[in-house]
């Protein structure tokens, strides 16, 4: 079996995740230490229907429309950091869901969102129209980078492409990242956020690691992701643990889901996680959150 990250044939059966209605098997790569589901689910796009976005599926997406005012603290912190590299230009959020990050980006960039979920795109565009988006908000589109739905955007013209908690969902992550590289202009940034499965947090949890989910098809190691990005031709790579912005925006976002004063104690756990992410054990980060800026 071929590793979808580094293309090595040196892979092995690692175990079975059994905590879901339909169990699935995981293989790992001896070369880059990444992992992947095998066999791949038939038509994984079916995961992303209304049930996925409403909390009725085996695993679900948090509908950030309900707390958009609070989620904007994180989105705006990301945009502030990206502006250090590009103060204007075309921005594409891949896996945009209901488009919250796209709407925030439109305060600075000509912002587009794309998603494989027709439901999320339809709902997100309707929500955007109701909430008076910026004139730079260019809409949400149904599709992916391999069948790019925004034909007016030419290759080599995009300043920023974001894939936040997206790359692990892709059936063929290498092909999608190649397309991102082609769309970016020289100096353009690919923002990736995913889990690092060789981090101490992930290795300690084993097959009970929370990131092993039915819709997550590929599980990247820090090493494997770095090898892949370099092989694609990116000239510079910068890694952030846990994320590229500070703790305060996270804490502010959490307030959107608080209903009792006691909920503020959750700040302690989040703060501890954030701080632990700066340390390593036996060469590996203590926590699994990883953000990469790959610069063309």
100 vs 62: CA distance, rounded Å: 12
Between strands 110-115 and 90-94, the pairing is: parallel
pLDDT at 47: 73
Domains along the chain with CATH numbers: 60-295 (3.40.50.150)
pLDDT at 66: 87
Tens of pLDDT along 146-161?
Answer: 989 999 999 999 999 9
pLDDT at 73: 97
pLDDT at 60: 57
pLDDT at 250: 97
- Give residue 50's pLDDT band: very low, low, confident or very high (50, 70, 90): confident
pLDDT at 53: 73
89 vs 56: CA distance, rounded Å: 38
- Give residue 181's pLDDT band: very low, low, confident or very high (50, 70, 90): very high
pLDDT above 60 for 232: yes
22 vs 11: CA distance, rounded Å: 23
Q: 16-25, 62-71, 175-184 — which is least confidently predicted?
A: 62-71
pLDDT above 70 for 261: yes
Tens of pLDDT along 238-251?
Answer: 999 999 999 999 99
The answer to whether the CB of 62 falls within 8 A of the CB of 97 is no
Tens of pLDDT along 113-133?
Answer: 999 999 999 999 999 999 888
pLDDT at 35: 97
**Mean pLDDT of all residues belonging to the chain:** 93
Tokens standing for residue 10: 């040196």
- Give residue 165's pLDDT band: very low, low, confident or very high (50, 70, 90): very high
Mean pLDDT computed over 263-273: 97
Judging by beta carbons within 10 Å of its beta carbon (0-12, 13-18, 19+), is residue 149 exposed, middle or buried? middle
* Count of beta carbons in the 10 Å neighbourhood of residue 36: 24
Taking the whole predicted model, whether its pTM rises above 0.85 is answered as yes
Contacts of 60 (CB under 8 A, 6+ apart): 51, 52, 53, 54
Would you give the distance in Å from CA 213 to the centre of its chain? Answer: 14
Q: Give the percent of the chain with pLDDT over 70.
A: 97
Q: Is it true that the peptide bond before 264 is cis, omega within 30 degrees of 0? A: no
pLDDT at 274: 97
pLDDT above 70 for 263: yes
């Amino acid at each position: 079996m071929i590793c979808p990250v580094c293309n090595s044939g040196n892979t092995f059966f690692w175990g079975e995740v059994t905590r879901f209605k339909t169990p699935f098997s995981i293989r790992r790569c001896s070369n880059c230490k990444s992992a992947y589901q095998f066999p791949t689910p038939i038509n994984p796009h079916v995961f992303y229907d209304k049930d996925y976005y409403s909390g009725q599926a085996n695993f679900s997406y948090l509908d950030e429309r309900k707390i958009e005012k609070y989620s904007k603290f994180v989105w705006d912190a990301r945009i502030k950091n990206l502006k250090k590299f590009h103060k204007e230009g075309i921005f594409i959020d891949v896996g945009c869901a209901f488009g919250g990050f796209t709407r925030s980006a439109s305060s600075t960039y000509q912002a587009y969102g794309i998603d494989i979920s027709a439901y999320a795109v339809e709902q997100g565009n309707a929500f955007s129209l109701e909430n008076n988006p910026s004139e730079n908000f260019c809409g949400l589109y149904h599709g992916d980078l391999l069948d790019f739905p925004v034909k007016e955007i030419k290759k080599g013209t995009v300043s920023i492409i974001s894939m936040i908690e997206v790359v692990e969902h892709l059936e063929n992550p290498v092909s999608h990242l190649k397309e991102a590289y082609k769309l970016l202009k020289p100096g353009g940034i690919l923002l990736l956020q995913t889990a690092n499965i060789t981090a101490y947090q992930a290795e300690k949890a084993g097959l009970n690691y929370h990131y092993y989910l039915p819709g997550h098809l590929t599980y990247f190691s820090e090493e494997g992701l770095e090898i892949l990005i370099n092989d694609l031709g990116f000239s510079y790579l910068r890694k952030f643990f846990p994320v590229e912005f500070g703790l305060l925006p996270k804490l502010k976002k959490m307030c959107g889901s608080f209903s009792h004063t006691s909920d503020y104690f959750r700040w302690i756990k989040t703060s501890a996680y954030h701080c632990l992410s700066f340390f390593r054990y036996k060469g590996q980060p203590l926590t699994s959150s990883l953000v990469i800026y790959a610069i063309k």
